[in-house]
Amino acid sequence: MSERIILCGRKEISESIENQHSVHPRCESDLDSGEARHMRKLYQRLALVLGVSTILTVLIFTVSLYERSRTENSRYLSQLLDGVEENLLHASEDYRARLDLLEKDYLNRAWAVEYILSDDPRLVTEEELDILKDLMEVRGISVIGNSGEILIGTESGTGELYEGQEELEGLKESQDDYASRTVISLPEDSGEEAVFYVIVKARSEYFAAVRIDADTERMGLMDREELVSSILRQATTEYRTGILAVNKQSGKIAGFTQNNVQNFDLPEIDTGAELLDFLDSISDGETAVLRVNGIYQRVLIRETEGMYLIAFSALDTVFKNLTWSFWEGLIGIGTVSTATVLLVRYYLKKYLFGYFEIMKEDISKILAGAAGSAAADTGIPEVRAFVDAVSELERGYLDKAEGMHRMEDELSQARTEAERDKLTGLYNRRGMEARVETFLKQEAPAGTFVLFDLDNFKRINDSEGHPEGDRTLEKFAACLRDCFRKDDSLGRLGGDEFAALIAGSVPDVRIEEIFCTVMAGVRKELEIYYKKYGVSVSIGAVPIDGKVRTYKGLYKCADTALYIAKYLGKDRYYINKEKIACMKKECIRCRENCPRSRLLDLKGREE
């Protein structure tokens, strides 16, 4: 069979394989291992758990949704009305206490007037009575004679018969010398005026009684309806929630909260009588869903002294609760699902995938040069051989890794030494050249390349010895480090020749300040040799603007500038802005304006 397949070619091979699969359908079932069957059972159980948990969560969500929407909104409306009733109770008590104080106060004022007029009221003029009225801070004073006529008064009606004859007769017939009567009448209609007066029995033989009328406008007297309206104006409610009071006698709205909606419109309710009939049909203290102001709202009604208190709230507040319950349901489902997934994941990692991860970590640690074999204590015989192989690999690899690390350290040290000057620690010629070439590869390089040369340095070597010359070079390198930035590159090109690469566009004034600082630092640090041998520093610089793109070209321009500085007398600097790179000893007149040409001509004339 195998020989025929080899001779038939690729097409017959594939056909033969297909025929084998078609002839032997049991091959696929044979591939199922015990672990695969176990995984299928595990997934079936997982699906069952997720299904049951979803059903339970939805049931809990539905119950919570209904209870929260019904109870919380009703509780909120009930709390609103509780607050209004409590405030109304306190306000009523305070108002009654105030009326009691006013009654006593005005009774004392009436007795004071009676005492002042007790001699003979006929001797008091109307002007004097007006003064007495102002002193007592009342609206009017009336003196009533024994025959029931008004003897004198601040209001009109002097000489007329007193309107309250029965009230007067009751005082006259009283055996109490201090008989009095206080009348307080609060209007039911806002258009009427409140009445507050005190009448006392006179102890004088000239008149029968004295009456004082209080200024009710200044006293701020209110009826029950006005008191309820005042309380509601001070109440605050949530958005699209309101409280109102309806008079049980007239059906008129007595008050409304001010911070939200200001109307309460019911369909097919136009008059106060219809509103009262509708409110009577609703159970006291029970919530109802009504169409108010064109939208469905939850309404709670309570009866109080002569009033209906109504609290209503739009159902969008209920929707907020529904949203909260919805998220509760999602959180519940998510929690159960997450717990199930984590449980399955835990057992999979514990019995299967966990050991694969351990093997992977061990191999990674070994490749990184660290210790591994975390799976050595797994206790699974099937993976013992693999663990032993990993341990053997670890031991061989660690030996090789140690040698590789040692080689990397030596290579890094050699690379550093290849670019650094051993004496000064600055870049050497190779390192400096590499830095400059890398810098010039930028799209638009900007900076300054500088050459330094110690003037008369050879005298130190000849007179003081090379060790002293080396110390002098170290001092000069330290001086350069102090004068330049950390981002700038410094190097020793050889002997007493140094270089610097100033990165970035720096103003000429600042460049010159740096050069002056370097020259001053050399005179200070090498003061002895400056005075003894004339040791100083000459500086040549060339700006980097992208026109010269090679290290060799920059070096020639800087070297030309250094030559000019030395020729001008040493201990100075020159900036080669024209980028002259001519090192010929005789000028060939290659350009018209050339400072080096002028120096050569000057030198020729001197010779």
Residue 182: what pLDDT? 92
Does 604 or 350 have the greater pLDDT score? 350
Distance CA 235, CA 245 (A): 12
For range 120-135, the mean pLDDT:
79
In this structure, of 29-38, 232-241, 510-519, 568-577, the range with the lowest mean pLDDT score is 29-38
Distance CA 333, CA 55 (A): 9
Residue 250: what pLDDT? 81
Q: Report pLDDT digits (tens) over 409-421.
A: 667 666 766 789 9
Distance CA 458, CA 516 (A): 23
Report the share of the chain in percent with pLDDT over 90. Answer: 29
For range 586-601, the mean pLDDT:
65
Q: What are phi and psi of 256, to 5 degrees?
A: -150, 145
For range 72-88, the mean pLDDT:
84
Q: Where are the beta strands (DSSP E) in 404-554?
A: 447-455, 489-494, 497-503, 536-544
Residue 123: what pLDDT? 57
Contact indicator for 449, 554 with CB cutoff of 8 Å: yes
Nearest to 92 by CA among 307, 263, 265, 328: 307
Contact indicator for 68, 320 with CB cutoff of 8 Å: no
Residue 544: what pLDDT? 95
pLDDT band at 126 (very low <50, low <70, confident <90, very high): confident
Q: Report pLDDT digits (tens) over 277-314.
A: 888 888 777 788 888 888 888 888 888 877 888 888 88
CA distances from 171 to 96, 196, 500 (A): 26, 18, 122
Does 228 or 601 have the greater pLDDT score? 228
Three-point CA angle 419, 424, 427, nearest 5°: 25
Three-point CA angle 56, 60, 66, nearest 5°: 150
Nearest to 481 by CA among 518, 507, 436: 518
Helix axes 551-567, 429-440, angle to 10 degrees: 110
Contact indicator for 180, 198 with CB cutoff of 8 Å: yes
Domain residue extents for the chain: 36-97+222-355, 117-219, 374-417, 423-580
pLDDT band at 379 (very low <50, low <70, confident <90, very high): low
pLDDT band at 6 (very low <50, low <70, confident <90, very high): very low
* pLDDT over 90 (residue 445): yes
Contact indicator for 266, 253 with CB cutoff of 8 Å: no
pLDDT band at 9 (very low <50, low <70, confident <90, very high): very low
Question: Which two structure tokens, joined as six digits, stand for 232?
Answer: 């509601």
Same fold, 36-97+222-355 and 117-219: yes
Determine whether 164 is exposed, middle or buried from the number of CB atoms within 10 Å of its CB (0-12, 13-18, 19+): middle
Distance CA 452, CA 455 (A): 9
In this structure, the number of other CB atoms found within 10 A of the CB of residue 357 comes to: 12
CATH of the structural domain 117-219, one choice from 2.70.70.10, 3.10.20.30, 3.90.1560.10, 3.30.450.20: 3.30.450.20
Residue 522: what pLDDT? 95
pLDDT band at 378 (very low <50, low <70, confident <90, very high): low
Query: Tell me, what amino acid is at 28?
Result: E
pTM of the model: 0.41
Residue 565: what pLDDT? 92
Q: Where are the beta strands (DSSP E) in 81-146?
A: 140-144
Residue 543: what pLDDT? 96
Distance CA 178, CA 200 (A): 7
pLDDT band at 96 (very low <50, low <70, confident <90, very high): confident
CA distances from 259 to 88, 233, 236, 318, 446 (A): 19, 8, 6, 20, 68
Residue 603: what pLDDT? 58
* pLDDT over 60 (residue 28): no
Nearest to 210 by CA among 109, 128, 139: 109
Determine whether 27 is exposed, middle or buried from the number of CB atoms within 10 Å of its CB (0-12, 13-18, 19+): exposed
* pLDDT over 60 (residue 124): yes
For range 564-573, the mean pLDDT:
92
Q: What are phi and psi of 196, to 5 degrees?
A: -150, 110
pLDDT band at 64 (very low <50, low <70, confident <90, very high): confident
Question: Which two structure tokens, joined as six digits, stand for 72?
Answer: 């919380």
Distance CA 356, CA 359 (A): 5
Mean pLDDT score of the chain = 79
Q: Where are the beta strands (DSSP E) in 21-154?
A: 140-144, 150-153
DSSP assignment string, 572-587 = SEEE-TT------SS-
CATH of the structural domain 423-580, one choice from 3.30.420.40, 3.30.70.270, 3.40.50.10860, 2.60.120.380: 3.30.70.270
pLDDT band at 575 (very low <50, low <70, confident <90, very high): very high
* pLDDT over 70 (residue 507): yes
Residue 1: what pLDDT? 37
Distance CA 199, CA 147 (A): 16
In this structure, the number of other CB atoms found within 10 A of the CB of residue 375 comes to: 22
Question: Which two structure tokens, joined as six digits, stand for 241?
Answer: 């929630």
For range 440-454, the mean pLDDT:
94
For range 476-497, the mean pLDDT:
94
CATH of the structural domain 36-97+222-355, one choice from 3.30.450.20, 3.90.1150.10, 3.40.50.2000, 3.30.1780.10: 3.30.450.20
Report the share of the chain in percent with pLDDT over 70. Answer: 73
Distance CA 113, CA 129 (A): 10
CA distances from 440 to 90, 491, 553 (A): 89, 17, 11
